[in-house]
Structure 1
């Protein structure tokens, strides 16, 4: 994503340069301009090679992005637009472009409490007006599972903005285990959705901490405090877990058997991207995954009831046995009580 963003910044910069006909532009001039623009946008030096700008010009000349830019070389070293007044920013949005964006909007607007998606409606309307088209049927035909009664959704916006603007926050928070709420100063890093719940990954006293949004009571910005940006990549951070609970331990190879009736479900919806089918058995199949055991994995396994059996590691197997025995005892106790 970062490389695509940098390319767009370079295209825009080259376009601005070539539109300025008050001076001449060599390849080195374009390299310098793009380097300056990337530094301005990203706040750091990003190397721009001669080959990169040559490929950018080639891309702008092509129809891959719909530009077909009339960039020409004259006097063997200067670049300019052959058409006066041309700009890649003047490329019209097609009706198909609007349709594609409209389809995306219908999915995204289901996140009602995220103002970023609400604002996209206005963007879409302006795009529709620009090509004199309208989408007559705005009924969403993709339905996302969501719980609108879930607490904490109103904090998505301020947390998102704080992460984007690199702001330190004070959060009034009460976990399910705590008797009363406490105020936490934190550096928000990432918003994570899992199983219809939202979580905040933040830096608290130098330690990466996960907070459930439905346990947050209030959020307040902290002034005059330097934000610590860990630049966390969600795909990397959560790659070894199911869910959101990440511990400082090594991933383990977890083997489990699933009965024949549920094997197709596990095959088509893997527990984790590391899942492998080991072999089929007469009554089901054996799989394994390479993950860090956590609460969410246990909940997932228990959700399959008697259709699954953890084979190893032994520690997790014993933990599942203990939980199932506790459940069985609870049923037995209630039955005796009712009698």
Structure 2
């Protein structure tokens, strides 16, 4: 791509001049046209140097940007395309362009819950049409984690715009533990995704604690015209910094958790840290020793358990005993079978 927006504007203006069959453009004319265009489209006053235009023409002629424009000089002073049908806007896409467009389309599809991307649907369809004309038998090279059956995604866009517009919400919600739904006013501040499941953070009123709602448990949702309440003490930018997952304890302190990982599995933990605070303490022939600063919660337990017997909590001892109890319960469940 051009180095900057001004260069792109000049390329477009030069293209229009070189395609013009009813006027002859000398170098000075191209300079004036680009100066006028920069003022019109970017508000930039001042002239464009002869050297700049010469470099632009050289760039358009080259294959550096894929244009290979057939620019010729007639009578040693007039510039135009030798092919009257040529335009840089008609430059065909190469295989690399097609591959990149395919990746972009795949990525855009992952955000179908937001209206921003509904608005782009026409563009995405045009990209797909362009790709189909260059269709190959190659398998996809990007596979993002997604769950098309996940409930609650239909609420994403409504929640996003309510947060953006600072509006109250009327929500009917039923948690996994509740016997029946509950309806209440909710003041939302942040959308949070964890392991392909979405949550919204907010409060019911000025006296309530922070509340994290799972979108798949929302039964109905309506945006009010009333302004939401503001809570200066709610720092959404750092709210989840001290946890793995989404469960944040109101008065739960962070702990220094130390654990060791078998040598063969340690690279997985090193390259994909359990928490951003993770550091390596030391290594020996059998284990790599790590430390993190976090609140202990269910999600952290689940992450530790997912690594099986290859990860062992070493400190504090209370957390070592907690994990030992979990493994014993699991063993008893399987032993009964």
TM-score of the aligned structures, taking structure 1 as reference length: 0.65
Render the CA deviation track for 1:116-164: whole Å, top value 9, x for unaligned.
Answer: 22322324578x7xxxx94445886321111111221111121112112
Q: Among residues 59, 83, 87, which one is paired with 2:41 in the alignment?
A: 87
- Is the partner of 1:143 in helix, strand or coil? coil
Question: Where does 1:1-339 land on structure 2 (aligned, <5 Å)?
Answer: 65-67=4-6, 83=36, 86-88=40-42, 103-123=103-123, 134-135=130-131, 136=133, 141-206=141-206, 207-223=209-225, 225-230=226-231, 235-248=237-250, 249-332=252-335, 334-335=336-337
1-side partners of 2:245 and 2:237: how far apart? Answer: 12
Distance 1:93 1:159 in 2: 39
Pairwise CA distance, 1:105? 3.8
Q: Is the 8 A contact 1:189 1:230 kept in 2?
A: no
For residues 225-264 of structure 1, the C-alpha deviation after alignment (integer angstroms, 9 at most, x for no partner) is: 3312458765522221111111233321110111122111
* 8 A contact 1:101–1:124 mirrored in 2: no
Uncovered stretches (5+) of structure 1, i.e. residues with no partner:
1-62, 71-80
**Number of aligned residue pairs:** 254
CA contact (8 A) 2:205 2:229 kept: no
1:193 Cα deviation from its structure 2 partner? 0.8
CA contact (8 A) 2:260 2:311 kept: yes
User: Which string of whole-angstrom CA distances, capped at 9 and with x for unpartnered residues, describes residues 3-38 of structure 1?
Assistant: xxxxxxxxxxxxxxxxxxxxxxxxxxxxxxxxxxxx
User: CA distance change for structure 1 residues 235 and 143 in 2, over 3 Å: closer, same or farther?
Assistant: farther
The answer for the alignment partner of 1:47 in structure 2 is: none
Is the CA contact 2:189–2:201 (under 8 Å) kept in the aligned structure 1?
Answer: yes
Structure 2 portions without partners, runs of 5+: 11-33, 45-87
Shift of 1:185: 1.3
Q: What SS does the aligned partner of 1:87 have?
A: helix
With over 3 angstroms needed to count, the CA separation of the structure-2 counterparts of 1:94 and 1:267, relative to structure 1, is farther
CA drift of 1:103 comes to 4.0
Separation (CA, whole Å) in 2 of partners of 1:82 and 1:291: 58
CA–CA separation in structure 1 for the residues paired with 2:153 and 2:177: 21
Could you tell me how far 1:167 is from its partner in structure 2?
A: 1.4
The 1:323–1:93 alpha-carbon spacing in structure 2 relative to 1, beyond 3 Å, is farther
Distance in 2 between residues matched to 1:89 and 1:104, nearest whole Å = 32
Q: What is the root-mean-square deviation in Å for CA atoms of aligned residues?
A: 3.3
- The separation in 1 between residues aligned to 2:166 and 2:246, in whole angstroms, is 22
Deviations 1:172-209 (A, max 9, x none): 11111112211131111111111111111112223321
